Chains A and B, each alone.
Chain A
Amino acid sequence: MVMRLARMGSAHQTRLSFMRVLLRRLKRESWTFEQARFEISAGGVGRAVYVAHGPAHSYSLVAFAHDLPDAQRSDRVIAEAWDATFALFDGVPDEADLERLERNVPLQEAGRITERELCLSRANRSGRLFAHVVDSLAEGRQPDAKMVADVGYLMRTTAVYGSGKFGAADREVIADRPEFAAPFQAEMLTVYLIRAFVMDLVEHLAASRAPDLAVPLDPDLRRSFSIGNSTGLGMAPFLVNHPVLLNNWIAAREEAVARVCALETASPVEVQAFNAVLGRAAANAALWKSEHGLQLEKLADLRADLAALRSHVASSDLGADRPWMRLIEWGQVHLGLEGQEQLIALILEPYGDLVDDLADAMSADEDTAFAIDGRMPVETLRRCLDDHYDWALGIDWTADAANARAWYVSEEKLEPRLGQRFDEPISEFEQPLSPGRDAARLAVALRGWAPQALVAEFLLALPEHRHIVRRVQIATKFPYAEIRDNTIDAGMLPIDMLRCKLAFFGAGRFDPRSDRWVRINMYAGAPFPHELAGFEDEAWAYGVRL
């Protein structure tokens, strides 16, 4: 049930989301931050360096601000210019490093970075909000709070590359540093520092335009700004291509829920913490905007679920008798998927001491799962298929609708795309992103093989099944490795996969622009680097503090 797309597409951020894991560590370890350079012209062009100093290592966001004509602003991978471009540097860059980065980072995919860089990213301005904020501040007043709330961000990143992309350091190079124990921490640090840079940038532009009149942003309003993100199809294949990693994310979350549900009682302080965050989640849902029909329905469901949950909680005793288990069971009967997923996030909130350690178990050494067990008898492989791919074996794969889509990569900037198999000449370029269909084909191919024949013999005869045999063996060892839905079905919604991944990152306010494209907010409500040490609101990710 956990691995169905509809549920994954209803995921919410939790305590174990990677942004929250990062900020907890930065605070706990008393990281310090400095704006080492800010060489930006009054017109908004130039470079800046923000350094984060940890116990053993320093990391620098190197930012380049550009003058981008409106007509060139695109969030697609196929864009070739951006309002700002970034790299996360391992250490503190010297002038030669900066010159090298200045020649490459603005080019993004067309440039090269090195093992000294951990991430490569870029961002575009919000056409709705950026100019309004600069204009307002330059005129000596705060921007319109409603506009700020509606848009949520001044810039949105359109890619944050790590793990060896375009020449950057492989994850393996930094994986033994404690600050990178949890997944995507370098990427999350990059975005966190980008947010600080962007806020400094708008205040700088306003002050440059009207030195005598301009005001900085009010600190509370300032904190409400997120960094936006615009995510297309590229993220969806990631979940399918990293089954062990996906398993570890979900398993950590399930373990966290199990630990909380096992509690016999809850203290008044814990119940109060739950109620507080429930109220904030409801307020957040009320402010959450979208124009997409599917999301509007989901938002209506979420709001109704949260109202029902609050009403139920108000009349329930959460003190004793396995309160959280009872609440989850109540939710399974009375709430939709949106509400159930939100409830899971909420019950974890009072229990950082109990669940936060699970974050370090969310990474994966995928090498260990790569080898195929060729000594496995064919009959065991058949049983694995029956046990773990029953959902796929039950699909009628002769129906066009079940095969309607094909995932492929375009030669155009290697953009990942999803096409209509029967309308476009793309089948020969299909990526191996349909485990359900491939498992069903494997089941057919196994017919006629002797039960005691070895998988090694089968693969020697039919090497085309090697990829799916590897997956089946992984799925047998890792219960949450496989999405249990047809990823090439006519009705499949890629945004469900995107939302699952982005919720694990810690994103909020999912706002789909189509079935394969979603805007989100990151770090809305989070303390800025200079505020982190004194910031006590663990649940900042729920936004509004009531």
Chain B
Amino acid sequence: MSLSLNELESLARKAARGAGYDWGLAEEAGRAVRWLACHRVAGAEALCLVLAARQEGRLCMPVIDNLRGGASAWGALVLCPIALGAAICDFGVLPDQVDFGRVAVPLLLVPAVSAFAARSGQAVQLSAGGLSYWCDADGASLAAANPILPDADVTLKIRPGPARTGGQPGHSRAVVAAGVLGQLTDFAHRTYAPATQASRAGAGASGSSDAD
């Protein structure tokens, strides 16, 4: 189905919330998926994989040592790309090279790393499972990065010189497969309260007849 980017972002935000993220991180998830769709990359599909991993209890949240390059995910767990991306942007400073260890669906890190690169005026290379994304890269090189890797070891390298400014994104729609849409919709549905008669009567009632 062809979705507007506002629809996609809103759905992704609600789905992330439905899967248990706090609202602030759910907002980051919505933005990341929108950014990827804007670059014609299957962000919705990537988010589905992350939310499923979260449901299975396979995700761990980053700690400060992750940002300093001194730790990786614990045991069988993989780092959450939404939280890691948010932390990278929040800290705004990284060592020249950071090995994060296993990260779930590294593609979802790309929007945050690109924002970091743009803001810090540096070029950043994100390597994951043999693939390499130039952050601030244009849509074409990102599209070539499909298919989406579920989990991979991720390394960020900061390169001297200005950030590459890739082609403008400019895609204004997202085509989302029915199965992916269904999964995100199911997650989003968990944010809705059940329809009860009391809810229907009390919450939105006009207080007088509609027919006047």
State whether A374 touches B64 (Cβ < 8 A).
Answer: no
Task: Please measure, in the bound complex, the distance between the C-alpha atom of A517 and the C-alpha atom of B210, giving whole angstroms.
Answer: 11
State whether A170 touches B90 (Cβ < 8 A).
Answer: no
A269-299 CB mask vs B (1 if < 8 Å, else 0) is: 0000000000000000000000100000000
State whether B199 touches A417 (Cβ < 8 A).
Answer: yes
Q: Which chain B positions have C-beta within 8 A of A429?
A: 191-193
Mark out the residues of chain A between 108 and 131 whose CB falls within 8 Å of any chain B CB in the assembled complex. Answer: 112, 114-115, 124, 126-128
B1-31 CB mask vs A (1 if < 8 Å, else 0) is: 1111111000000000000001111011001
Mark out the residues of chain B between 107 and 121 whose CB falls within 8 Å of any chain A CB in the assembled complex. Answer: 115, 119
Q: What size tier do the contact residues of chain B reach?
A: 35 or more
State whether A469 touches B24 (Cβ < 8 A).
Answer: yes
Say yes or no for A456: interface residue by CB 8 A criterion. Answer: yes
- Binding stretch for chain A, among B50-58, B149-157, B201-209: B201-209
Say yes or no for B140: interface residue by CB 8 A criterion. Answer: no
Say yes or no for B189: interface residue by CB 8 A criterion. Answer: yes
Task: Please measure, in the bound complex, the distance between the C-alpha atom of A77 and the C-alpha atom of B83, giving whole angstroms.
Answer: 35
State whether B203 touches A419 (Cβ < 8 A).
Answer: yes
Task: Please measure, in the bound complex, the distance between the C-alpha atom of A74 and the C-alpha atom of B212, giving whole angstroms.
Answer: 10
Specify which of B62, B189, B199 lies most central, judged by the most chain A CB atoms within 10 Å of its CB. B199
With A371-B119, A372-B90 as known contacts, state yes or no: A419 contacts B199, CB within 8 Å.
yes
A140-155 CB mask vs B (1 if < 8 Å, else 0) is: 0000000000000000
Task: Please measure, in the bound complex, the distance between the C-alpha atom of A50 and the C-alpha atom of B1, giving whole angstroms.
Answer: 29
State whether B199 touches A424 (Cβ < 8 A).
Answer: yes
Q: Taking the nearest CB of chain B, how far is it from the CB of A341, in angstroms?
A: 25
Q: Taking the nearest CB of chain B, how far is it from the CB of A242, in angstroms?
A: 12
Q: Taking the nearest CB of chain A, how far is it from the CB of B113, in angstroms?
A: 13
A393-422 CB mask vs B (1 if < 8 Å, else 0) is: 000000000000000111110111111100
Task: Please measure, in the bound complex, the distance between the C-alpha atom of A489 and the C-alpha atom of B73, giving whole angstroms.
Answer: 43
A167, A171, A464: the one within 8 Å of B2 (CB): A167
Task: Please measure, in the bound complex, the distance between the C-alpha atom of A112 and the C-alpha atom of B4, giving whole angstroms.
Answer: 11
State whether A454 touches B91 (Cβ < 8 A).
Answer: yes
Specify which of B61, B83, B92 lies most central, judged by the most chain A CB atoms within 10 Å of its CB. B92
Say yes or no for B211: interface residue by CB 8 A criterion. Answer: yes
Say yes or no for A164: interface residue by CB 8 A criterion. Answer: yes
Q: Which chain B positions have C-beta within 8 A of A75?
A: 206, 210
Q: Which residue of A lies closest to B9 (CB)?
A: A164
Q: Which residue of A lies closest to B7 (CB)?
A: A164
Task: Please measure, in the bound complex, the distance between the C-alpha atom of A516 and the C-alpha atom of B202, giving whole angstroms.
Answer: 10
Q: Which residue of A lies closest to B6 (CB)?
A: A164
Task: Please measure, in the bound complex, the distance between the C-alpha atom of A246 and the C-alpha atom of B72, giving whole angstroms.
Answer: 42
Say yes or no for A514: interface residue by CB 8 A criterion. Answer: yes
Q: Taking the nearest CB of chain A, how far is it from the CB of B206, in angstroms?
A: 4
Q: Which residue of B lies closest to A518 (CB)?
A: B206
With A78-B200, A415-B204 as known contacts, state yes or no: A73 contacts B119, CB within 8 Å.
no
A76, A128, A408, A465: the one within 8 Å of B24 (CB): A465
Q: How many A-B residue pairs have CB under 8 A?
A: 171
Say yes or no for B77: interface residue by CB 8 A criterion. Answer: no
Q: Which chain B positions have C-beta within 8 A of A164?
A: 4-7
Task: Please measure, in the bound complex, the distance between the C-alpha atom of A389 and the C-alpha atom of B126, giving whole angstroms.
Answer: 40
State whether B198 touches A424 (Cβ < 8 A).
Answer: yes
Say yes or no for A491: interface residue by CB 8 A criterion. Answer: no
Q: Which residue of A lies closest to B3 (CB)?
A: A167
A70, A77, A165, A371: the one within 8 Å of B211 (CB): A70
Q: Which chain A positions have C-beta within 8 A of B204?
A: 76-78, 232-233, 415-417, 516-517
Task: Please measure, in the bound complex, the distance between the C-alpha atom of A232 and the C-alpha atom of B210, giving whole angstroms.
Answer: 12
With A78-B200, A167-B2, A517-B206 as known contacts, state yes or no: A126 contacts B212, CB within 8 Å.
yes
With A169-B172, A410-B195 as known contacts, state yes or no: A459 contacts B203, CB within 8 Å.
no
Say yes or no for B173: interface residue by CB 8 A criterion. Answer: yes
State whether B206 touches A514 (Cβ < 8 A).
Answer: yes
Q: Which chain B positions have C-beta within 8 A of A127?
A: 211-212
Specify which of A167, A424, A432, A463 lies most central, judged by the most chain B CB atoms within 10 Å of its CB. A463
Say yes or no for B194: interface residue by CB 8 A criterion. Answer: yes
Q: Which residue of A lies closest to B61 (CB)?
A: A463
With A411-B189, A429-B192, A517-B205 as known contacts, state yes or no: A172 contacts B5, CB within 8 Å.
yes
Say yes or no for A445: interface residue by CB 8 A criterion. Answer: no
Q: Which chain B positions have C-beta within 8 A of A371?
A: 89, 115, 119
Chain A residues engaging chain B, CB cutoff 8 angstroms: 70, 73-78, 112, 114-115, 124, 126-128, 163-173, 230, 232-233, 291, 370-372, 374-375, 408-412, 414-420, 424-426, 429, 432, 454-457, 459-460, 463-470, 513-514, 516-517
Please give 10 more A-B residue pairs, beta carbons under 8 A apart, in addition to A459-B87, A466-B24.
A76-B210, A114-B2, A128-B212, A375-B92, A417-B199, A419-B193, A426-B199, A429-B193, A459-B90, A513-B207
10 contacts between A and B (CB under 8 A): A115-B2, A127-B212, A371-B115, A410-B193, A416-B204, A417-B193, A455-B90, A456-B90, A463-B61, A465-B24
